[in-house]
């Protein structure tokens, strides 16, 4: 481990867990931003058990939509939400980060040679800045239940698949068993949900979010 003042560079999930397990055990507020549920699962294998009971804790997690299309992962998120954790979904790009008690930040880096790097930050000024970024992402995201309901209502995955295939609206509407006007309305609503101004952008954002 390489230490530079109050910024610590960690190589690999095992070392990260060794260095921070006691901090997770003592934390009363956990904020997490991740693309999926795999980034932190190896680093903190005890976290899922701890999260099943969140009384007296504040747990907030922001994920990208791809997690909703894996039944096991989606079920895990629903259980977390049911236990009192706040779960939200965002289509925006996010930095995979964990914040503990607003005093410590852990930022996930890239994999190099198959090993992922992490930065553990305790500098108050840096943590405050990262916390501010998380708060912005949190307030811009959508509650899990509302997001799932909207996607289910729109038939989002099926529509995205039709858009990706490049078929004409008439063909897509027939394939989905809806009228042409209904299909086009759902496409427009899905674009709005994804924050896209064109079908091409909607497809691109869906791929970035892991929906396709």
CATH number for the domain including 105? Answer: 3.30.870.10
Domain boundary among 115, 142, 169: 142
Closest to 186 in 3D by CA, of 165, 158, 148? 158
For residue 111, the enclosing domain spans 2-142
The residues near 107 (Cβ < 8 Å, ≥ 6 apart) are: 95, 96, 97, 118, 119, 121, 130
| 150 lies in some domain | no
pLDDT at position 153 is 67
| 136 lies in some domain | yes
Closest to 107 in 3D by CA, of 120, 116, 122? 120
Domain boundary among 84, 107, 142: 142
pLDDT at position 29 is 93
Same domain, 187 and 105: no
**CA–CA separation, 149 and 127 (whole Å):** 34
Same domain, 96 and 134: yes
CATH number of domain containing 185: 1.10.10.10
pTM above 0.85, yes or no: no
pLDDT at position 170 is 92
pLDDT at position 53 is 47
Same domain, 131 and 66: yes
Instruction: Work out how many domains the chain is built from and give that number.
Output: 2
Same domain, 124 and 185: no
Same domain, 135 and 184: no
Same domain, 120 and 44: yes
pLDDT at position 2 is 45
Q: Residue ranges of the alpha helices (H) in the chain?
A: 13-26, 47-51, 71-82, 124-140, 144-154, 156-165, 169-176, 180-194, 199-208
| 147 lies in some domain | no
Three-state secondary structure string covering 148-179: HHHHHHHCHHHHHHHHHHCCCHHHHHHHHCCC
State the 10-residue block means of pLDDT for the chain, 212 residues long.
Answer: 69 86 88 81 44 68 78 78 89 88 93 87 95 95 84 74 84 88 86 77 68 60
| 149 lies in some domain | no
Same domain, 179 and 137: no
Same domain, 52 and 113: yes
pLDDT at position 192 is 76
Same domain, 7 and 109: yes
Same domain, 71 and 162: no
Whole-angstrom CA distances from 181 to 110, 151, 178, 184, 199 are 44, 18, 8, 5, 16
Same domain, 96 and 194: no
Same domain, 64 and 108: yes
| 121 lies in some domain | yes
pLDDT at position 211 is 60
């Amino acid at each position: 481990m390489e230490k530079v003042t109050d910024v610590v560079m960690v190589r690999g999930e095992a070392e990260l867990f060794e260095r921070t397990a006691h901090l997770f055990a003592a934390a009363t507020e956990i904020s997490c931003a991740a693309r999926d549920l795999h980034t932190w699962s190896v680093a903190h294998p005890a976290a899922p058990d701890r999260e099943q009971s969140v009384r007296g804790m504040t747990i907030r997690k922001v994920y990208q939509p791809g997690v909703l299309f894996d039944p096991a992962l989606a079920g895990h998120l629903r259980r977390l939400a049911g236990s009192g954790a706040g779960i939200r979904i965002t289509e925006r790009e996010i930095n995979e980060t964990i914040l503990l008690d607003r005093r410590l930040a852990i930022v996930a880096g890239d994999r190099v040679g198959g090993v992922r790097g992490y930065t553990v930050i305790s500098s108050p000024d840096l943590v405050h800045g990262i916390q501010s970024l998380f708060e912005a992402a949190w307030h811009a995201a959508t509650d899990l239940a509302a997001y799932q309901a909207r996607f289910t209502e729109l038939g989002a995955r099926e529509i995205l698949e039709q858009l990706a295939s490049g078929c004409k609206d008439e063909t897509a509407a027939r394939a989905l068993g809806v009228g042409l006007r209904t299909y086009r309305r759902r496409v427009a609503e899905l674009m709005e949900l994804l924050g896209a101004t064109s079908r091409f952008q909607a497809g691109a954002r869906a791929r970035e979010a892991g929906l396709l």
